[in-house]
Structure 1
Amino acid sequence: MLRDVVSNIVKSHSYLQSKIDARVIDYPLMQSPIHMTCILLGYVFLSVYIGPRLMANRKPYSLKTAMIVYNLCMVLMNAYIVYEFMMSGWATTYTWRCDLIDTSSSPQALRMIRVSWLFYFSKFIELLDTAFFVLRKKQAQITFLHVFHHSVMPWSWWWGITLTPAAGMGCFHAMVNAAVHVIMYSYYGLSAAGPRFQKYLWWKKYMTAIQLTQFILVSVHISQYYFMEKCDYQNPLWIHLIWMYGVFFFFLFSNFWVQAYIKGKRLPATENKTKQNGSTSEPISVVANGKHVENGNAHHYTNGKILMGKVKEI
């Protein structure tokens, strides 16, 4: 029986490999779902279990310079991704309505494939967000929303660009997401630079609103499919999945908004926490994706088990 199970798994894997679009199969992490799935499972295990325990009895790392450089690089990368999406169709030949999957090998199609893969790959780079949290002992920021979002996005996108790398109207959400990340990483970069840049962060309260607007735009755009008289999109499954994705994350982030700004459970707060030299810490604020934005002073949990953003004393 075990032999039959293994045989069926091998057959399924071989069948899936035969369906990978020939135009994208030579890109890194595109030859099989096994590699990217193992990376993402390792990410969840390290960020939720191993990482916090390794850091439990260690001092947090500052990483200020590394974070400034990282955030700047992410701003530039996402800005480039937005530009390439626009030049690959959205600002040139796309109608912003029923844009079909491009199965050709035209220069525009190949350009769209390159930027789609780059967007997918950028999601693995973004896993460093969590690594910074772990190394700086910001375990309370490793929430369910944070881990779920960072692991599901690259996993789901592998299937999209594996089967339809030039997905037409199915890649609009990627362009919007990259544009939002330009704003977000600009905010994180300024925040990491220190207290003297706090005056430039007056717009932090709008971060959640920007995220919610993103999911509204994605859902409205893809919903056009259901009202068009005729749209022969080649893979309607992507339409349904993108719509469900937009609605699902809209409700997740709406719940964050309610908890933070209506019920006040995660409102930005100032805690006069005494440090060893007798001074007090600066404000710590919560922003849209469940991350805190600090001025460099940290709240640490040195004697606790981390359970998806909660600390259980032991």
Structure 2
Amino acid sequence: MRTAPFTAPEFNLGKVNQDAAARMEIVTHLINDTIEFYKWGLTIADKRVEKWPLMSSPLPTLAISSMYLIFLWLGPKYMQNREPFQLRKTLIIYNFSMVILNFFIFKELFLAARAAGYSYICQPVNYSDDENEVRVAAALWWYYVSKGVEYLDTVFFIMRKKFNQVSFLHVYHHCTMFTLWWIGIKWVAGGQSFFGAHMNAAIHVIMYLYYGLAAFGPNIQKYLWWKKYLTIIQMIQFHVTIGHTALSLYIDCPFPHWMHWALIGYAITFIILFGNFYYQTYRRQPRREAPAKGGKAVTNGVVPGDEWCQQTGGEADSGGEREEEEEGAG
């Protein structure tokens, strides 16, 4: 049986060039449309904050976040063959400094919102130069800055070779919070924005207080039995955020609806991630115990009572046995 001779497919260089040109035109249009949309957005941005540090352009925030991501890649490589840094004193100072900063933010938001007569149900943004409104905006700006400072959590983990602590949730939380809050301050530095920020700042006071105390070592850490409740409080926060935002949509509160929907979606991601962390850490049944070791049962290769040294090498994480996912959000 004779077979037909093989014929190579015809290569049409002209058509390839046309397709490439069409794709390039689409990309160019997308870039131009994005630039035009941003320029339009600037016309409705909050004029009060445009000359505040970091607020004139998104580039500084994006640059800081990009350097953070680069450090995530290069940091472990740099530390791979080096001894971990001993940062106990640094961590104590850092954690208690964050307690002070978050308490200041909570106090400013709470007092300024009360003085301005804010509603906890529905509060539109007031872009006036009223003293209390500017005070709310300034406190929210400090809240945004605090999210940038929290990048140091990751830096300390990597410097101390706690690479396992730098999880997806850890990076997702830190990178998105700092970046997204630039948008919040740029366009809605007030109104409904105060609710989640002052609730989250209050939780961070408790959270960093725990980390600061735990950083003193096992003599203090043994009294910090309430660690798992930090995760529970944070998950409650996300549910409250969704409920509060859904109510605002239901009553048609005059606050940008697209931001309400974005916040609901964002909070859902944290409920899923934090819920998984809580289940994996506190609810999942441990493996069956191995035979006794030195008179003590061994679970997963760790002798009860030795967990602190096994997990931290005798030094507290960025707050004792800090789990990366317990670093607030929302």
TM-score range, shorter chain: 0.7 to 0.9
Name 1:243's counterpart in structure 2. Answer: 264
Paired residues, number: 283
Q: Alpha carbons of 1:269 and 1:40: their partners in 2 closer, same or farther (altered >3 Å)?
A: farther
Q: Give 1:63 shift.
A: 0.6
Of 33, 36, 42, 2:61 maps to 36
Once the two structures are TM-superposed, the CA of residue 60 in structure 1 deviates from its matched residue by: 0.3
Deviations 1:211-255 (A, max 9, x none): 111112211222212332xx4414121221222222221121111
1:254 to 275, 280, 283: 275
Residue in 1 that maps onto 2:242: 219
Q: Match for 2:113: what amino acid?
A: G
Partner of 1:296: 315
- On the 8 A contact 2:249/2:260 being kept in 1, the answer is no
Q: Which amino acid aligns with 1:203?
A: W
* 3-state DSSP of counterpart to 2:86: coil
Coordinate RMSD, CA, aligned: 3.0
Which position in structure 2 is the counterpart of 1:45? 70
What 5-or-longer segments of structure 1 have no aligned partner? 274-279, 286-291, 299-307, 310-314
Q: Return the alpha-carbon distance in structure 1 between the equivalents of residues 112 and 178 of structure 2.
A: 21
Return 5+ residue gaps in structure 2 as ranges: 1-23, 288-298, 318-323, 326-330
Question: Following TM superposition, by how much is the alpha carbon of 1:21 offset from its aligned partner in structure 2, in angstroms?
Answer: 1.7
The verdict on how the C-alpha distance between 1:215 and 1:125 changes in structure 2, with shifts beyond 3 A counting, is same
Amino acid at match of 1:110: V
Matched, 1:65 2:89: yes
Aligned to 1:180: 203
Cα pair distance change 1:56/1:110, threshold 3 Å: same
2:302 is aligned with 1:271: yes
Give the direction of change, closer, same or farther, for the CA distance of 1:179–1:265 in structure 2 (3 Å limit): farther
Q: Deviations over 1:136-158 (max 9, x none)?
A: 00000000000000000111111
State the partner residue of 1:277: none
Question: Cα deviation per residue 1:149-183 (whole Å; 9 max; x = unaligned)?
Answer: 000011111111101111x1233111111111111
Q: Distance in 2 between matches of 1:127 and 1:216?
A: 25
Letter in 2 for 1:239: H
1:145-224 paired onto structure 2 within 5 Å: 145-166=169-190, 168-224=191-247
Q: 1:284 to 1:177 in 2, by over 3 A?
A: farther
In the alignment, is the contact (CA less than 8 A) between 2:231 and 2:278 conserved in 1? yes
Q: Percent identity?
A: 35
Judging changes above 3 Å, is the alpha-carbon distance between structure 1 residues 211 and 295 closer, same or farther for their aligned structure 2 residues?
Answer: farther
Distance 1:200 1:92, change over 3 A: farther
Task: Mark the CA change 1:297 to 1:192 in structure 2 (over 3 Å): closer, same or farther.
Answer: closer
Cα distance in 2 for partners of 1:236, 1:146 equals 28
- Counterpart of 2:125 in structure 1 is 101
> Structure 2-normalised TM-score?
0.77
Check 1:31–1:98 CA distance in 2 against 1; reply closer, same or farther (3 A cut). same
Compared CA separation, residues 24 and 58, structure 1 to 2 (3 A): same
SS in structure 2 opposite 1:119?
helix
Aligned-pair CA distance for 1:271: 3.2
Q: Which has the larger radius of gyration?
A: 2
